[in-house]
Amino acid sequence: MIQYEKKLDKVVKHKSLLLFAGGAILAIAAKKIFGSDSTKKFCVKTAAKIIELRDQAEKAFQDVKDNVEDIRF
């Protein structure tokens, strides 16, 4: 158990360096992933589908709202 604690102390001592290195690696990986054409196409298709679903939901909500107003008056 003491050996494990020594290793953990070394990691904690260099925490800032490890966080910086992890952030740099993540930034490089994200640039490569988001720079690819397939990722861009996927994001555009997903955004278009979300907008379409939002429009459908707004229409359905408006229909329900109109029906409630008809019943109420």
Task: Tell the residue number behind the tokens 């993540």, with chain if given.
Answer: 26
Judge whether residue 73 has pLDDT over 70: no
Same domain, 31 and 41: no
Same domain, 15 and 31: yes
- pTM check: above 0.85: no
Same domain, 19 and 9: yes
- pLDDT, one tens digit per residue, over 4-47 is 777 777 777 878 888 899 999 999 998 888 888 888 899 899 99
Question: Whole domain around residue 20: which residue ranges?
Answer: 1-35
Same domain, 27 and 57: no
**Are 33 and 39 in contact, with CB atoms under 8 Å apart?**
yes
Residue type, 70: D
Same domain, 64 and 48: yes
